[in-house]
Structure 1
């Protein structure tokens, strides 16, 4: 009897080993499958703080800008409101997989009572981007290749995995077909991630192509991304840890849209002689103070990432430079020892108005084409314990 038990136990181990080998073989086959290039355009729509943009990543690697649509006052107010919700939630909380969240229950109640779905505000923007993109591409309807990006909303984190999420509902209302993203990918791409990807940063191609089971590449860096996005209508700021762009942000918090600092607002400032930009500088530093004052936040190194249609403005960049110099001095709290002053570096996005949409389109292209990974070769000297060798540095 004992011999039979040992045989059964050994058989189970063999079955487990065979199953593991099959999984690994499938992953390697998926990576090595050059299966050709999907000829359809990979399309990215970005729902920005005050306008929406669309870009297409073509099969030959060319990226074209399709549309830029200004948001209505209702749209801008909605984005500002959504960022304010749940700012006090757990810093490292992962998206919950609960069967029904409070937001979803509210949606069901509104649907039962016949009230307008709040996702309609987003749907109006998506519909405008869809129509403009169809015209630009000469394709109606658009191919089922559209994925979305937006400022990271902590208020949406509990419904990221639900087909009833506000993003999914907005897609349906706008006439965009459902897209099944890869298993580990978020439902929408966070703006900071999209901008970084468009600038060739945090691509983590080794991890993207081999997957978390086969890649030892660390998905995180000890770096805080301080995003400052300036548009004609508002200023969007946020903080998050640097991580592979196709992952859900970790430590994403303090996201705020401030309508007082849009480029068009400086003409209406009561004070003159540069007071607008002085107040802007004070605000940028104050946002950092809020972040650094929380002992749970890493604050040893910051990359200040500039984006939005105002990113190229000389006065804007000058004010940011002054704020960075003050941040680099050190602790915002004289009574608390915080160690050495933080390292602070600057990254001004290329094509700042469309960078987020371009990054979202790149994300979609990597899902569609096996060639993205078939052409990828491990860098010379890659070793499992040297993840920093390959990781994209800002």
Structure 2
């Protein structure tokens, strides 16, 4: 990855958009005279409209402005990182601030249409929910809106909104948009300002990334996932939970190459992830390269999904409860039993994972396939075994959104296509001292 320069930034429209917040424009820098002579008492920063006293010579120094244009503005660099998690049955939102504080913002249950969509995307064979009878208008034009993630689909959804037609009655994209919008509103309330960038963790199932990205676009939100060849093009819940528990995080994340060098180890990392909610069980295994989290290549090696084994269904079933709990135990052991490598991490997440009988069933299933717990096994299961290293407790309902917020916060500090020079940190420190600003991500 090359060092950031003005020319390098021009090559990336996304990067140019990022640094445009609170900074002078590139054309201004091109026209600067090295012998610039300012006779007025103040100058105006074009982006912030701040009256800057001329005696603050650092604001008017040509080289400083050139360096500033090749670095991220504090309007972006110091902004909160917003992370969403779209699970199989609900969504959560978390915010991570520049000072390290993490706030769990919202937990929103998916509506029946959302659950139905997740079943279809995951290939669940059960009959889907019966939708309300469609009008002739819907039957004729549905092909332009249903599951349409193209620009035409975005236009069609916009027209429906202008006409006042109900959002959830049309496409998969709008079903996701409805939940994302609730998370967006909760996050904006928390940080007291609008934002336009977010990292979204999802189950690693087919087609979901395309639908989520189209839904984000409808809400005028950009994604930190898939925006650069150097960073993840999809963001699995397992990877987000792995990071949220403090695993695989490099200390020098501002430099991708140095970050990778921190994990230059042949030792394999194999993470068994278990998600459990009121409506679904989802298990997967990821094998992060050299144990590093939040990289381009961390996706599920294997996975199992079951909407019949959600906690609500197990508690509502009378005569066959024991059979269902036995089936749950079998599902929990299937992936580890068939996986050819030893597990190094066992991580759990979800709103129902702390239910006592589920935890007991999970422990029994793991004891069956791993009678002797590996010496270096790491987990977030409370009281799993004496030999395992248990990570610091994290709210399991929000674990993935916390990981997504952590990823978003880190991405706020780095440019997508180049590495900032050592001068950038000093420039940002000067901005913090001299510019009375309030972050506005728009």
Distance 1:154 1:342, change over 3 A: farther
Cα distance in 2, alignment partners of residues 345 and 327 from structure 1: 16
Structure 2 equivalent of residue 247 of structure 1: 295
Structure 1 equivalent of residue 192 of structure 2: 138
Structure 1 residues 345-356: aligned runs within 5 Å: 346-348=379-381, 350-356=394-400
* 2:181 pairs with 1:127: yes
Report the TM-score when normalising by structure 2: 0.59
Distance 1:324 1:40, change over 3 A: same
Cα distance in 1, alignment partners of residues 80 and 278 from structure 2: 30
Distance 1:34 1:186, change over 3 A: closer
Distance 1:152 1:248, change over 3 A: farther
Structure 2 equivalent of residue 6 of structure 1: none
Structure 1 residues 159-238: aligned runs within 5 Å: 165-177=210-222, 181-206=227-252, 208-212=253-257, 215-218=260-263, 221-238=267-284
**Bigger radius of gyration, 1 or 2?**
2
CA contact (8 A) 2:303 2:335 kept: no
State the Cα deviation string for residues 126-149 of structure 1 (Å, max 9, x = none): 11111222334333xx22232211
CA contact (8 A) 1:237 1:255 kept: yes
For the aligned residues, what is the CA RMSD? 4.0
* 2:350 pairs with 1:308: yes
Report the TM-score when normalising by structure 1: 0.66
Structure 2 equivalent of residue 68 of structure 1: 107
CA contact (8 A) 2:148 2:173 kept: no
Cα distance in 2, alignment partners of residues 131 and 327 from structure 1: 44
Shift of 1:322: 0.7
Structure 2 equivalent of residue 17 of structure 1: none
Shift of 1:313: 2.1
Cα distance in 1, alignment partners of residues 264 and 114 from structure 2: 34
Structure 2 equivalent of residue 363 of structure 1: 407
Cα distance in 1, alignment partners of residues 259 and 223 from structure 2: 29
CA contact (8 A) 1:240 1:249 kept: no
CA contact (8 A) 2:244 2:400 kept: yes
Q: Secondary structure at the match of 2:98?
A: coil
* 2:285 pairs with 1:285: no
2:199 to 147, 169, 175: 147
Cα distance in 1, alignment partners of residues 196 and 155 from structure 2: 32
CA contact (8 A) 1:328 1:343 kept: no
Shift of 1:343: 8.3
Q: For this pair of structures, how many residues does the alignment match?
A: 306
Gapped regions of structure 1 (runs ≥ 5): 1-19, 86-104, 293-297, 331-340, 375-394
CA contact (8 A) 1:83 1:255 kept: no
CA contact (8 A) 1:232 1:309 kept: yes
Structure 2 equivalent of residue 321 of structure 1: 363
Structure 1 equivalent of residue 50 of structure 2: none
Q: Secondary structure at the match of 1:261?
A: coil
Gapped regions of structure 2 (runs ≥ 5): 9-66, 125-146, 158-169, 382-392, 415-419, 423-442
State the Cα deviation string for residues 50-101 of structure 1 (Å, max 9, x = none): 110111111221111111110012212222332349xxxxxxxxxxxxxxxx
Structure 1 residues 27-38: aligned runs within 5 Å: 38=77
Shift of 1:113: 12
Cα distance in 2, alignment partners of residues 112 and 84 from structure 1: 25
CA contact (8 A) 1:111 1:117 kept: no
Q: Secondary structure at the match of 1:43?
A: strand
Cα distance in 1, alignment partners of residues 3 and 153 from structure 2: 45
State the Cα deviation string for residues 19-42 of structure 1 (Å, max 9, x = none): x9xx46989x99xx8976844321
Distance 1:299 1:35, change over 3 A: same
Cα distance in 2, alignment partners of residues 34 and 170 from structure 1: 27
CA contact (8 A) 2:200 2:223 kept: no
